[in-house]
Structure 1
Amino acid sequence: MRKEGIGIVLLAAAGLSLAACSGKDGAGEQAGATSAADGAMPASASLPDALDNTDGLQTVAEALKETGIEGVFREKASYTLIAPEDDAFAKLGDPAKQLTEADDHAALAALIKDHMLTGYMTPQDISAAIKASKDGKIEIPTLGGGTLTFTQAGPTVTVTAEDGTQASFDGDPVAGGSSIAIPVNGVLKKL
């Protein structure tokens, strides 16, 4: 009976957090893209379309097109893309340039899948899960078959890939369709 009560409380809390996701602040919205800084619900434009109109995320937007992964975001299923910013790719220099400009897009597709999570999770959802965890971290599997570990120190949420690469949430999330992209300041894979 006690476990049932806890489950109901957790479901109610999840419902409240989803209800809180419905506010929009209008700032940062562009041509169907929705800034999800306050946990905004998905927008009518697909996530790839929203990313096309978002400064600083053009490399990942182009990668979605080049690999054909953009089609996944046009379906009804929800995903969270941990989206490396353009500067994150630029910091990697030639290896990133070779990856994004290659004729064979298999390696780029694998990189994108390593940044994709099943389900729609706002930064607030991830932060709340970290705070609720016993050890101050959560692990979430990627579509690429790996696992990302999320931790938080103060307001900064850090994500760590299995190979030890790290990035921090950086900037306002972008919602589109039934999915969301959370900008990060690093690429989660050694190149």
Structure 2
Amino acid sequence: MTNKFPFRSSLALAGALALAVPLAACSGSEDDAASQEVGNETLASALADGSDIDMVSDALKDTGLAQVFDGTAAYTVLAPTDEAFAVLEPQEGEDTDEEARRAIVAAVLREHVLPGALSPTDIENAITAQGGPVTIRTMGEGTIKFAMDGETLTITDEEGESASMVGDPILASNGVVIPIDTVLKQP
């Protein structure tokens, strides 16, 4: 069985990436750069090794999406913590069709993946340069809005569900994992 991950580009995403990448090259202090060293492992390995994001890693494997993150293409994964991801687990006594559940989880996960490697610093710099929130299209064809709430990077989906970055980002050879405290685009 082959799992396909639908990809489409958008003008808004291209603009955000074009803005974020040059800013990342000339931003931040040496301490900031040192704290965000790129690892040698792929996103799939980084997710599997990540602290408090085991459920996302397992769900990516279960849905067949993990293999996408072993390639050379770059992605940013907004990874809900295990506590946050638990909302997608079947409730006790709930009769669920495993195939249908897997499809729902895959759709939710695609809304947490962005094309390109964007560190929190890149995103914060884009917010500063734009003078406010930055909207980016997800791999699930939705959009999310990044903003700053004081020192905290926040992420809001189209329905108004908000998450905050928690913990340190993980920079892998082919992208970035940003831990967040809420599942966006809940079914």
What TM bracket, shorter-length normalisation? 0.7 to 0.9
Q: Secondary structure at the match of 1:175?
A: strand
Which stretch of structure 1 is more off in the superposition, 61-70 or 48-57?
48-57
Is 1:45–1:177's contact at 8 Å kept on the other side of the alignment?
yes
* 2: CA distance, partners of 1:50 / 1:185: 18
* 1: CA distance, partners of 2:119 / 2:50: 17
How has the CA–CA distance of structure 1 residues 129 and 14 changed in structure 2, closer, same or farther, with 3 Å as cutoff? same
2:72 to 72, 76, 86: 76
Q: Secondary structure at the match of 1:60?
A: helix
TM-score, with normalisation over the residues of structure 1?
Answer: 0.76
How has the CA–CA distance of structure 1 residues 21 and 115 changed in structure 2, closer, same or farther, with 3 Å as cutoff? farther
How has the CA–CA distance of structure 1 residues 66 and 139 changed in structure 2, closer, same or farther, with 3 Å as cutoff? same
Structure 2 residue 117 is matched with structure 1 residue 117: no
Structure 2 residue 42 is matched with structure 1 residue 57: no
* 2: CA distance, partners of 1:151 / 1:103: 36
Q: 1:15 corresponds to which residue? A: 25
Count, aligned residues? 162
For residue 54 of structure 1, report the CA deviation from its aligned partner.
1.8
How has the CA–CA distance of structure 1 residues 76 and 17 changed in structure 2, closer, same or farther, with 3 Å as cutoff? farther
Q: 1:97 corresponds to which residue? A: 89
For residue 147 of structure 1, report the CA deviation from its aligned partner.
0.3
The superposition leaves residues 165-189 of structure 1 with CA deviations (integer Å, 9 ceiling, x where unpaired) of 1100000111223111100000002
Q: Flag structure 1 segments of 5+ consecutive residues without an equivalent.
A: 1-9, 25-37
The superposition leaves residues 57-80 of structure 1 with CA deviations (integer Å, 9 ceiling, x where unpaired) of 001000110111111111111000
* 2: CA distance, partners of 1:44 / 1:153: 32
Which stretch of structure 1 is more off in the superposition, 62-71 or 14-23?
14-23
* 1: CA distance, partners of 2:168 / 2:155: 16
For residue 131 of structure 1, report the CA deviation from its aligned partner.
1.1
Q: Flag structure 2 segments of 5+ consecutive residues without an equivalent.
A: 1-19
Alpha-carbon RMSD across the aligned residues, in angstroms, is: 2.5
Q: Secondary structure at the match of 2:98?
A: coil
Structure scoring higher RCO (CA < 8 A, sep ≥ 6) equals 2
* 2: CA distance, partners of 1:120 / 1:49: 16
* 2: CA distance, partners of 1:20 / 1:76: 27
The superposition leaves residues 96-124 of structure 1 with CA deviations (integer Å, 9 ceiling, x where unpaired) of 1129x862111111111000001001011
* 1: CA distance, partners of 2:172 / 2:66: 12
* 2: CA distance, partners of 1:21 / 1:112: 32
Structure 2 residue 57 is matched with structure 1 residue 47: no
Q: Secondary structure at the match of 1:56?
A: coil
For residue 17 of structure 1, report the CA deviation from its aligned partner.
3.9
Q: Secondary structure at the match of 1:144?
A: coil
Is 1:150–1:157's contact at 8 Å kept on the other side of the alignment?
yes
* 1: CA distance, partners of 2:172 / 2:45: 7
Q: Which amino acid aligns with 1:98?
A: P
Q: 2:162 corresponds to which residue? A: 166
